Amino acid sequence: QRLRVLLNQSDIMQSHVDCGRVQDPYSLRCMPQVHGASRNAWLHLKNLTDIELNSVTDNPIVFGADDTISGGNFHGQPLALPLDYACFAAAEIGNISDRRCYLLLEGKWGLPMLLMNDVGLNSGFMIPQYTTAALVTENKTLCFPASADSIPTSLGQEDHVSMGSISGRKVNTVLDNLEYILAIELLSACQAIEFRRPLKSSELLEHAHDYVREFVAFAAEDRIFADDINKVAGIIKDFSFVSGVNKFAASKQFTLNKGFAEFDIDNQ
């Protein structure tokens, strides 16, 4: 549904009607299925986090001066497992994003190789895609579930622990890496759109493109991309990019978030 709204009345999309291309690779064709599965994982984590935040996890639980009960509500397993699950989900968004970056660089379907003219003199977006490949690989190493391990402590009294704090730290690192991966995909997509002119994408995507261009200019030749990547990662991290596109969509009476009320797009 979101893709239909985002691509509505795109000249670029219409130019491919009856073009003879049978089907796209999975990283394009299966975006709703892959992204949706990851979204469900994060919704699961959100729901369980809400439950834990509203639960009594003290030990012992004190009901009165002479009324205490030692229990097990302190155990971190209820969050450790979904945190590991969320880690996989975030890593997969990065994995499929890297594949789309790679496709944009292949020099097929009217786009120049490495998204730049005079390849040979210029290496284009080759190095940014090296970065996505490295970050995706790092995320894979962080996907070993911390909750699958347990080390006894406290003379065996604490003989099974969740390792949930490690799960949380890992998912935080994966999310940081993911923001940079998505920044590089966004930069690559904006670069690719320039090579489709005079055709334009949809009104929404052109607005997204123009917003990115307020921070980063078109790359006509090689330059150090670190500053560009950091700037775009910044507008992803602070939600200004997503929030800006959503506000523009609302002003045009486009509905991007129907059925997604479980997440506040502006704040989560």
Q: What is the pLDDT of residue 37?
A: 98
Q: What is the pLDDT of residue 185?
A: 99
Q: What is the pLDDT of residue 19?
A: 87
Select from 190, 171, 185 the least CA-distant residue to 233. 185
pLDDT in tens, the chain (268 residues): 889 999 999 999 999 898 888 899 999 999 999 999 999 999 999 999 999 999 999 999 999 989 999 999 999 999 999 999 999 999 999 999 999 999 999 999 899 999 999 999 999 999 999 999 999 999 999 999 999 999 999 999 999 999 999 999 999 999 999 999 999 999 999 999 999 999 999 999 999 999 999 999 999 999 999 999 999 999 999 999 999 999 999 999 988 876 444 445 444 4
Q: What is the pLDDT of residue 182?
A: 99
d(CA 230, CA 249) in angstroms, rounded, equals 26
| Spans of all domains in the chain | 2-10+23-251
Does domain 2-10+23-251 bear CATH number 3.30.420.10? no
Residue 112 DSSP one-character state: P
Q: What is the pLDDT of residue 266?
A: 47
d(CA 157, CA 254) in angstroms, rounded, equals 57
The model carries a pTM of 0.93
DSSP readout, 71-98? -STT-SHHHHHHHHHHHHHHHHHHHHHH
